[in-house]
Structure 1
Amino acid sequence: MSKELSFKRHRRLRASDNLRALVRETHLHKEDLIYPIFVVEGEGVRNEVKSMPGVFHLSLDYLTEEMKEVESLGIKSVIVFGVPKEKDEVGTQAYCETGIVQKAIRQIKKDVPSLTIIADTCLCQYTSHGHCGVIKDGEVLNDESLKLLAETAVSQAKAGADIIAPSNMMDGFVAAIRQGLDVAGFVNTPIMSYAVKYASSFYGPFRDAAHSSPQFGDRKAYQMDPANRLEAIREADSDIEEGADFLIVKPALSYLDIMREIKNRHPVPVVAYNVSGEYSLVKAAAQNGWVNEKEIVLEKLTSMKRAGADLIITYFSKDVAKWLSE
């Protein structure tokens, strides 16, 4: 007598849309999205970034309209990047009271106060050499750069930023900024640290948008080697010890394994940065009819949530919010 075949019937839970939705483990919400914006000086500027279809340089006279649209879509948070007219060796416009980011923060706070404003805190967009700190003899000086980064963070907090997001990867940057904020009276302003930021090839379109390409060399001496895992853990550990409230993993899609390890190790919100190269590759493929943009974007953002991300910085935010409303 033959033995009865025995096996598990996993397909029972996949039979219909409703059943699949009922047992779905990972969910993407509008509240998870952080929308990046690029503000520029001048008037009447709403120019599409050539390498990032759907992403625009916006002058302040277009900013409020854009922020009201973001609010109406159910997106709760934006991260602000500035593109100044003037640059110098020490990035003065990064920490100037009348800098473009400081102006943008004040305007958003006044016109669309419900939005949470995250300020990107770095010097590369503001320095004439395009590096994230002070240069001497061709080297980015760590400790001298920390003073300017702390000054930048304080100026952004004074303008009304709800969260400070330092992205420079200098050693001790969280400690320096935390101290600077505390001394200035901003003890309750959180730090969203770019804790794990790799020296990635996926940043090209962003540098086009932010006008922040290095004028010499590269950033491999301070951003992380893409081959390293344990180094990412050390970086995240240091930032938590120094006072970080959120941890960013950047880029997201090629580093989902790192994201999961960071989330398992630290009980703080983890943020995936779905970077410009990841965005532009999908946009280019979609425009050529090679992929279904909606399906591939929702799949990859869900993969980031599944890997441990609580929040996602993505240029797709407005599109995703519309798709989720459907």
Structure 2
Amino acid sequence: MGFPIQRMRRLRSSETLRRMVRETTLRSSDFIYPLFVIYGQDKKIPVNSMPGVFQFSVDRLPEEIKEIDSLKIPAVLLFGLPEHKDSVGSSAYQDNGVVQEATRLIKKICPEMLVITDVCLCEYTDHGHCGLIDQKGVVDNDATMGLLAQEALSHARAGCDIIAPSDMMDGRIGYIRKELDDNGYKDIPIMAYAAKYASSFYGPFRDAADSAPQFGDRKSYQMDGANIREALREVALDIEEGADIVMVKPALPYLDVIKAVKEKFAYPTAAYNVSGEYAMIKAAAACGWLDEERVMMEALTSIKRAGADLIITYFAKDAARVLQKL
């Protein structure tokens, strides 16, 4: 029966009742907090395009990790900025690299925190692309595989908990899985950036990670934003190659992709609420145009409602503080 027997407003009459019948619930344990680590001592450098986000030298991490842990955020995702760059991104796979050193420190001071390490070459190459460049100026998919595998192995040796390849080279999940397995790290999961789009929402991240390409763009290896069936093929291939968690990036412009991935594969699904999504809300709130806290929570809830089990977000600490008050 319809109105007046069915009155949908009955269950909306109080905050307590609304909370009791809520279909989607955010928790601090849903969040993964990205961290940018740099060489040097006593450095905490603000990222101008991402208010509240910093680059940390490894020695400044303990205070940050303590705060993250106190907010019951279970995991961090590490990105490294090298001292020097070259055409093959050699700093990415050095055992004393900045991500490797940060991983060792975090696991020492907070063993229960999950350390996820981004595996890519873009931060480490002087050309800013995610793979090696051939003589024609094209990113060489197959030649890049060995270096990505070396990087992943160096992170595993440093003690990371999850490997997260973000490069979007074809076949790299299987290649990395074999390298890890062959070297005794068969139990380390891989969180694949499976459907990573060539998005304009990455701009602030490229400031934070100093990873903008020096020529061209990444459209030949990152996905076309118009495509969803292609995303499902990408996810299927990564699962076949051994991915344990699949990711959609960005999140808010691709909620339909998150939903489709979760419904088709029923696999642990992550979504990356990327730097541009974060910066837009921060900027609008600074102008007084939006209520930052309410918009932040609405955006994160929409990502989880779409099907994400894990949300990588620069809002993790802010959202966790809100959740502690509820």
Instruction: Deviation per CA, 1:176-211: give whole Å up to 9, x if none.
Output: 110110011100000000000000000000000000
Which AA in structure 2 matches 1:30? Answer: S
Cα-to-partner distance string for 1:13-66 (whole Å, 9 max, x where unaligned):
111111111110000000000000000001121010010000001001101111
| Alpha-carbon distance between aligned partners in 1 of 2:102 and 2:112, rounded to the nearest angstrom | 15
**2:112 maps to 1:96:** no
| CA spacing shift, 1:207–1:5, aligned 2, 3 Å | closer
State TM-score, norm by structure 2: 0.98
For each residue in 1:106-157, what CA deviation from the matched residue of structure 2 results, as whole angstroms up to 9, or x when unmatched?
1111111121000000000000100000101210000110111011001000
Structure 1 window deviating more from structure 2 (216-225 vs 264-273): it is: 264-273
User: Match for residue 129 of structure 2?
Assistant: 131
Partner of 1:80: 78
**Superposition pairs for residues 2-17 of structure 1, below 5 Å?**
8-17=6-15
Letter in 1 for 2:114: T
Alignment deviations for residues 281-305 of structure 1 (CA, whole Å, 9 cap, x no partner): 0000111111111100000100011
Secondary structure in 2 matching 1:133:
coil
Three-state SS of the structure 2 residue aligned to 1:135 is coil
Residue aligning to 2:319: 320
In 1, Cα distance between the equivalents of 2:29 and 2:156? 23
In the alignment, does 2:167 pair up with 1:163? Answer: no
Report the CA distance between 1:77 and its aligned residue.
Answer: 0.3
* C-alpha distance in structure 2 between counterparts of 1:5 and 1:199, whole Å: 47
Q: Give the residue type in structure 2 aligned to 1:281.
A: M
Secondary structure at the counterpart of residue 286 of structure 1: helix
| Aligned AA (1:76) | P
> Aligned partners of 1:266 and 1:158: how far apart in 2?
31
Give unmatched runs, 5+ long, in structure 2.
none
The letter for the 2-side match of 1:242 is E
What RMSD in Å do the two structures reach over aligned CA positions?
Answer: 1.0
The answer for the alignment partner of 1:274 in structure 2 is 273
For 2:195, the equivalent position in structure 1 comes to: 196
Find the counterpart in structure 2 of residue 49 from structure 1. Answer: 47
- Per-residue CA deviation, residues 246-288 of structure 1 (Å, 9 max, x unaligned), is 0110000000000000001112210010000000000001111
Deviations, residues 45-99 of structure 1 (Å, cap 9, x unaligned): 1010010000001001101111111111111100000011111100001000011
Give structure 1 regions of 4+ aligned residues with deviation exceeding 6 angstroms: none
Amino acid aligned to 2:291: N
Question: Which residue, 99, 114, 117 being the options, matches 2:115?
Answer: 117
CA distance in 1, matches of 2:190, 2:265: 15
- Equivalent residue for 2:67, pick from 63, 66, 69: 69
Aligned length: 323
Once the two structures are superposed, the pairs formed by residues 217-232 of structure 1 within 5 Å of their partners are: 217-232=216-231
Letter in 1 for 2:185: F
Q: Counterpart of 2:282?
A: 283
Cα drift, residue 5 of structure 1:
7.0
SS of the equivalent of 1:35 reads: strand
- Distance across 1 between alignment mates of 2:149 and 2:201: 27
Letter in structure 1 aligned against 2:125? T
Separation in 2, partners of 1:180, 1:5 = 62
How far apart, CA to CA, are the structure 2 residues paired with 1:322 and 1:6?
Answer: 41
Alignment deviations for residues 196-252 of structure 1 (CA, whole Å, 9 cap, x no partner): 000000000000000000000000000000000110000000000000000110000
**Residues 23 and 62 of structure 1, relative CA distance in 2, 3 Å threshold:** same
Percent identical among aligned pairs is 57
**Offset at residue 8 of structure 1 (A):** 2.8
3-state DSSP of counterpart to 2:283: helix
2:266 and 2:230 mapped to 1: Cα distance?
19
